[in-house]
Amino acid sequence: MKYRIAVLMILVCIGIFPLAAVSPAQIPLSSPIYEEIDLLYQLSGRALPSTSRPWNTYEALAILKAIEEDNSYQDLWDTAYQRMEGPSFHQVDETFSYRISPTINLESYVHTNDQDFTSYDDWIYSYDERKPFLDLTLSMQFSSSFLFETSLQAGVGAYIEDVDPEGEIETWGIGVILDQGDAFLVPDATLYRRTFSSNLPFFGSPMEPDFPRHSQMTYAGPWWAISLGRGAYSWGAGKSGNLVVGDHISNHTGLTASFFNQKFKAQLLYLFFPDVSQSGKSPRIFLAHRFEFNPASWARISISENVMANQNGLSLQYVDPTYIYHNIFDPPQVNSIASIEADITPLPGFSIHGQFALDQFQLSSEGAATANALAFLVSGSYSWDAQKGYFTFGLEAASTDPAMYRREYVDFLVARDLFKQDDSLPVIIDYLGYSWGSDSKVYQARLNYLLPGKVNLEASLTIHRQGELDYLAAHHVAESSSTNDKYPNISGPSPSGDTITERLIVGFGGTYYTDIPNLELFGQVNWIGKREFDRPSGSASGYADDFQVIFGITKRF
């Protein structure tokens, strides 16, 4: 009997040891661990693990341990596990430890067309992708459940005062978040127009005022994680973007509460958007709840309800995560989107991913004047192991209706200020959901090669067709005037209008993990061609292309 008890205690200790050894930290979306674990699941014939990300380390470890450690892809398993260990903390006593982690990034950016590719939207490796020259991260851990982490960063800003010209906003504004005169755009940013630039904050380059880009205060355990901080968030496994929450915005301020096991996950997500207008509009809060479940090992279904709400006058009823958001009918205050997502792996190595989002829908018999607003994304990929490493080939298609993300009271556009030292604000505009925005068709093919812990290479081809309803355009068009103060009336399918902007993007990039600890080399080469296609005549004009080269070195200490 004593022998059995001793064996049982040893097994229990072995089972809980990994959980006792990890930090409760959120894992940033830039970590290769997501691609490695996704590939491991796909090769094992399992549906992709939770696509509401970032994961907490406890959750990542539970996801990894669902795959037997002794498997056919041991190198993938071991590499992912080692990433969770991370740099060691300095132990002060039984309950407190700390870590100071300096990171130096050296990046250079070169392009060939400084006349037609002059701003943030013109670059593939742009404002959110570019790393600061210096990142000094301070982490303080209390027991194995609580972590406080913030960082000081020295990087190059995106706007140079008194040098970069101001782009005036049209009379109808930008969505409902900015009126004319509330801010200005930067269509000709010096650091994005220059043939050569770098991330060194010297030689007259401005310092990036918005930091930290990543921070967290996290309380977590084996089945839960509550985290407040800054960083990127993502819902979905799309490679060209995701429909409700995309990973293209790097500096969200958000609060998440996640509860998970191997078959089910519930997540509450709150994102906070300050008002950057001069006219005093309302700050906004994105409130969402998402539920994921596995009906079988090879299938995962996710559903979510999401609302963007004006903070001024917001009822606490809307903050209640148990409330059904679509019971709220308060157009001046909230706008809701529902979504469903599926991940299916019918055969080992072959995976299918789909997303559908609904912003507005009515039957033709209802006679409503507001245009339908739907979006979908579907992708398929096949992975296989070579003698050394793993290959993945994937195809993806996405479509967003013209009226998607747009409303006359509350919309899903995001404005971020680029210069915090002045009341006159230069801003950058994004969509919270799909990075290519509304009124778009996107087709993408990619081929990836991964040698775990050594090399990650990818080649891609992307076609983007943008209709006339981008974020600069009014969503209500009439013969007398155009405005954002009325309901969207431009119907799909996308792309809409007579003038279609077409882009062809051919890219190649890679990362090399050197034998020197925590030293990485990475680079990208992108060719972008664009033109304006006139639908009535079937002719095209305005041809332009750009060759963009990025090279970088990262060293973590």
Chain-centroid distance, C-alpha 155: 21
Cα–Cα distance measured from residue 311 to residue 410, given in angstroms and rounded to the nearest whole number: 11
Main-chain phi, psi angles of 21, to 5 degrees: -95, -15
CATH number, residue 125: 2.40.160.130
Q: Strands 234-235 and 215-221: what pairing? A: unpaired
- Percentage helix, strand, coil for the chain under 3-state DSSP, each rounded to 5: 10, 45, 45
Neighbours of 448 (CB within 10 A): 20
Q: What's the DSSP call for residue 516?
A: S
pLDDT of residue 331: 83
pTM for the structure as a whole? 0.91
> Residue 149: which domain range?
2-556
Q: CB of 172 within 8 A of CB of 85?
A: no
pLDDT of residue 408: 93
Count of the separate structural domains present in the chain: 1
CA distances from 144 to 3, 58, 289 (A): 31, 10, 27
Q: What's the DSSP call for residue 485?
A: S
What is the chain's length?
A: 557
Question: Consecutive 10-residue runs of the chain (557 residues): their mean pLDDT?
Answer: 38 37 87 97 96 96 87 90 84 92 96 96 96 96 94 90 86 92 91 94 79 94 96 97 97 97 95 92 94 97 95 82 80 91 97 95 65 96 94 98 95 90 81 97 98 96 97 91 92 93 98 95 98 95 97 96
Q: CB of 350 within 8 A of CB of 382?
A: yes
Q: CB of 410 within 8 A of CB of 309?
A: yes
Place of tokens 């906070």: 272
pLDDT of residue 315: 81
Place of tokens 């409902």: 176
| Residue 323 CB partners (closer than 8 Å, separation 6+) | 317
